Structure 1
Amino acid sequence: MSGTVRHEIDLPDGRVLVGHDTGGPDGAPVLVWHHGSPQSGELLAPVVRAASDRGIRVVSTARAGYGGSTRRPGRTVADAAADTGHLLDTIGVTACHAVGASGGGPHALALAARRPDLVRGVVTLAGIAPYDGTEDWFATMADDGGLRAALDGAAARQAYEETAEFDPTSFTDADVAMFSGPWGALGADAGRASESWPEGLVDDDVAFVRDWGVALADVAAPALVVQGGADRVVPRRHGRLLHGALPAGELWLRPHDGHISVLAALPAAVDWLRAHAA
């Protein structure tokens, strides 16, 4: 997105991590955006607008394997959060809010669990809950093939990806309508990421169905879980699982929202952060 700064930092293990940053005055509050799966990590206009309208700076990272960031096969959710924390330390961010959509939700929560010194509040929108080993975890997903393949490891998930096709029933009519407005850039970015960095999605899915490397019980910051009752990608049960495991969690269940239309709640969620997180 124009007007943002692109960071490329060297990580301690020799990998490169790419970040994006709207910048802002010293002392401005910071929102760390955790992108979905797949995405490039570049900032999306509706995210920047929801923050900038409230005087908030936005920073994001491209997770390992996406958007120019070096791949890290076998990474956990906690590993990705450690990368994000390293970028924030490098650019001098000392306090932030963590916000994640869909596949970004686990990573926002992991940053809060790993870095309570940094994260003052956290929001997930259509976020995935830790895999609990039950069939109920997959219940009502329109297309669960990728996550089921991930249970057998990266090679199986990669093989699945080579023939996978998007199931249009994953999105509700309200979801599809979002792509005709400001969130259209999300669809375009996801398509580009899927073509350019399929390994990022593979590694995300494998991380989601394995031990995240952090416990939700360690998320001490106020946490808001926003979930769509009509979501066919990450069903509403995931929102209840997250809410039940978070010590300071609040649940907004939006009964008519799907996986994309729930993002319309982002401005209100940012207001919630301002009211509930110091």
Structure 2
Amino acid sequence: MSSGRDVDVADGRVLRVHDSGPPGAPGRGDGVTLVWHHGSPQTGALLEPVLATAAARGLRLVSYGRPGYGGSTPRPGRDVASAAEDVAAVAEALRLGRLVVVGASGGGPHALACAALLADRVVGAVSLAGLAPFRDERWWFDGMADEAALRAAARGRDARLRHAEHDAFDPSSFVDADWEALAGPWADLGADAQRAGAAGPGGLVDDDVAFTRDWGVDLADVRPPVLCVHGDRDRVVPPAHGRRLVDALPRGEVWTRPADGHVSVLAALPAALDRILAVAGR
């Protein structure tokens, strides 16, 4: 059963944490805990397909709302690297040992930051439809159905907040396979995204700004193995991002899924997790 609790961090903030096991219990599955980094926007609540994938492998599952999401204290100006500090606080509070970090969409960069900065804990990482670092290059936006929000973020937080006043989701960002996934196995992801959006744009704004500035972490410093999974039909984070990530990672591998878009690619989670745990020697 998933439970939510607040974890204090050093600067006086709280993080809303969700845990598939009793708080403070040691991780199952040979001591490995799966830390899920949610997409943008999400609350951090545990999603049924992720719970099922973790349970089938004897893994404890922990997720948390990034600052500004799901009850976690906002942190305007945060960078991607700050996720490692937050995950370290969560791991200490829950007495977690070894971690495998998995990020979907906007969670991908944050999972990679943890792999770089918490190498003493992280045994492997998976990025599902995750963004590559922003270098102010045209390729970064190529293939996005709607790039306006990220272009606004690249101009700064104030510009992104102004954009949020009239921003609306472009349905063409999702292909048919994405809508089918949201109507089926990933229905609770769609519902959770709506809850996060209804709570206000702060978390999403801070995510987007963090993506389009220096991440505060060098991917060359990621020592654990990383698997990047991307759908060839992804119109939210186009597949070039996955290829760029692998080019920058010392131990990176990329899987491309020709029929998948941004959401339907999440069906690869079980196989991707099996792969990264095998490579990590778990």
Regarding TM over 0.5, the answer is yes
Partner of 1:199: 202
Counterpart amino acid of 2:279?
H
1:127 to 121, 130, 136: 130
Partner of 2:77: 74
Partner Cα distance (2:147, 2:48) in 1:
29
Counterpart amino acid of 1:165?
A
Unmatched segments (≥5 aa) in structure 2: none
Partner of 1:51: 54
Partner of 1:20: 18
Partner of 2:177: 174
- Offset, 1:27: 4.6
Partner Cα distance (1:7, 1:81) in 2:
19
Unmatched segments (≥5 aa) in structure 1: none
Partner Cα distance (2:233, 2:156) in 1:
29
Indicate whether 1:34 and 2:31 are aligned. no
CA contact (8 A) 1:120 1:277 kept: yes
Counterpart amino acid of 1:274?
L
Q: Give matches, 1:226-265, under 5 Å.
A: 226-265=229-268
Partner Cα distance (1:243, 1:199) in 2:
30
CA contact (8 A) 1:38 1:201 kept: yes
Stretches of 4+ aligned residues off by more than 3 angstroms: 24-27
1:8 to 3, 6, 9: 6
Percent identity for Structure 1 against Structure 2? 56
CA contact (8 A) 1:67 1:197 kept: no
Flag the 1:92–1:26 CA change in 2: closer, same or farther, 3 A: closer
After superposition, give the CA deviation of every residue in 1:8-28 in whole Å (9 maximum; x if it has no partner): 111111111111110176351
Partner of 1:87: 90
Question: How many corresponding residue pairs?
Answer: 276
CA contact (8 A) 2:27 2:97 kept: no
Partner of 1:142: 145
Q: RMSD between aligned alpha carbons?
A: 1.0
TM-score scaled by structure 1?
0.97
Counterpart amino acid of 1:240?
R
CA contact (8 A) 1:147 1:205 kept: yes
Partner of 1:97: 100
Counterpart amino acid of 2:13?
R
After superposition, give the CA deviation of every residue in 1:103-128 in whole Å (9 maximum; x if it has no partner): 00000000010100110000000000
Partner Cα distance (1:136, 1:77) in 2:
21
Partner Cα distance (2:217, 2:168) in 1:
32
TM-score scaled by structure 2?
0.96
